[in-house]
Structure 1
Amino acid sequence: MARATAAKVDTSIAVLEAAKKVLHQNGYAKLSTRDVAAAAGVPLSQIHYHFGSKQGMLLALYEYLNSQLLDRQNAMYANTTLTLSQQWDLACDYLDDDIASGYVRIMQELVAASWSDPEVAKVLRAGLKGWLDLLTEAARRAERSFGSLGPFSAEEIAGLVAQAFIGGESLYLLGAEQEGLPVRRVLRRVGDLIRFAEGNSSKR
């Protein structure tokens, strides 16, 4: 029984990894379960068995990828040896890594799919909430450290950060950096602003 369960999990992961590869290569518009099955080396029936449909596979792919992202972010924010500015720098490093690995393209393809699929949108919003909760708690720690976030609440700071990164990803994929817009450089400069605030806070 345990062996059968392990085999089922292994097949599911193989299909999700194949879906990630095919989605990155072909985009959502050209994504087919037949291509995913071929990339995974499994019969097409296995996709329907494990996920029910193309939509079910996409929802499972998002949850699979988002859990990895949240694990990474949780570990970063739990590292008390890092200052807030160092955590921001690391988040920017992660963005560079995610662009290079294709993760950003995959996530943005899923966001685009959600515009016409309410069920995908619902799952993406739920996943985004986990990230926003982490950002909000980080903003609250900053507020305790700095004494104030100016006119912003912790929730508003979290919203600004989320919009900055998600918007930055979209602009990067549009080729804005090639046209001279300093997308990632601007994000990294926010780390300098946080360092400035940390320096002022330490002088009080």
Structure 2
Amino acid sequence: MARPAAKKLETSTTLLEAAKKVLRQSGYAGLSTRDVAAAAGVPLSQIHYHFGSKQGLLLALFEYLNGQLLDRQDALYGDKSLSIAEQWDKACDYLDEDIGSGYVRVLQELSAAGWSDPEVAKVVRDAIKGWIDLIAEVARRAERELGGLGPFSAEEVAALVGSAFIGSESHYLLGLERRGVPVRQALRRFGDLIRIAESKSSKR
């Protein structure tokens, strides 16, 4: 028989997985706690018990998804069999996946909500800082392998790359790609610049 703490964690995880499913189907605006409870096969009261409110559920879902994605990126950038350009290519593939999963939509909407809600702002800020710290580690590797980053520090590169991806996500959701702005293709082209730099570095 499951212990109360284990049972509570199991129910919480079941609700988060159900919320992820409903998010994919209905989007952020269409996500309702009633639908999440139904998808999880538990009473609606369980959402209030575990998360307090719809906002509490969405914040917990964001942290849950973000943790999974950071683990995925850690594995990617820890794979030294891949060149930095190949890792960049894979990161662009992951962006496509994250748009499809609904994660990007949640991040962007919570970012906007964070402008007026300090609790939401802290959750989103901590998540983004985790991504930027991870990118900074990759930038330090690039600095070693390519013989420098020009006038930029690793931290400055990480800030720019993080802003480029978040900005691209925002522009994608606003529909700029449908208006001829090559949002994601531009990110992929940057991988070609990394390849050129790696090629020049290997010939030294």
1:172 deviation in Å? 1.0
Distance 1:114 1:40 in 2: 28
1:89 matched residue in structure 2: 89
Give a deviation string over 1:35-91, Cα, whole Å, max 9, x none. Answer: 332332221211121112223222211110011010000000110101100100010
4+ long deviations beyond 6 Å: none
The alignment's TM-score, normalised by the length of structure 2, stands at 0.91
2:59 matched residue in structure 1: 59
1:33 matched residue in structure 2: 33
State the one-letter code of the partner of 1:56: G
Moved more, 44-53 or 103-112: 103-112
1:15/1:36 contact within 8 Å kept = yes
1:165 matched residue in structure 2: 165
Moved more, 190-199 or 35-44: 35-44
Distance 1:195 1:133 in 2: 23
Amino-acid identity (%): 72
Distance 2:185 2:73 in 1: 21
The number of aligned residues is: 204
**Counterpart mapping for 1:39-54 below 5 A:** 39-54=39-54
* RMSD after superposition: 1.9
1:148 deviation in Å? 1.5
1:24/1:106 contact within 8 Å kept = no
1:25 deviation in Å? 4.5
State the one-letter code of the partner of 1:198: E
Distance 1:119 1:19 in 2: 20
The alignment's TM-score, normalised by the length of structure 1, stands at 0.91
1:182 matched residue in structure 2: 182
2:23/2:102 contact within 8 Å kept = no
1:174 deviation in Å? 1.2
1:27/1:109 contact within 8 Å kept = no
1:20 deviation in Å? 2.6
Distance 2:99 2:23 in 1: 14
Distance 1:146 1:78 in 2: 18
1:138 matched residue in structure 2: 138
1:27 deviation in Å? 4.6
| Unmatched 5+ stretches in structure 1 | none
State the one-letter code of the partner of 2:162: A
**Counterpart mapping for 1:191-202 below 5 A:** 191-202=191-202
Distance 2:168 2:160 in 1: 12
Distance 2:178 2:54 in 1: 34
Give a deviation string over 1:6-47, Cα, whole Å, max 9, x none. Answer: 332221112112323344454545544333323322212111
Distance 1:31 1:116 in 2: 21
Distance 1:150 1:44 in 2: 55
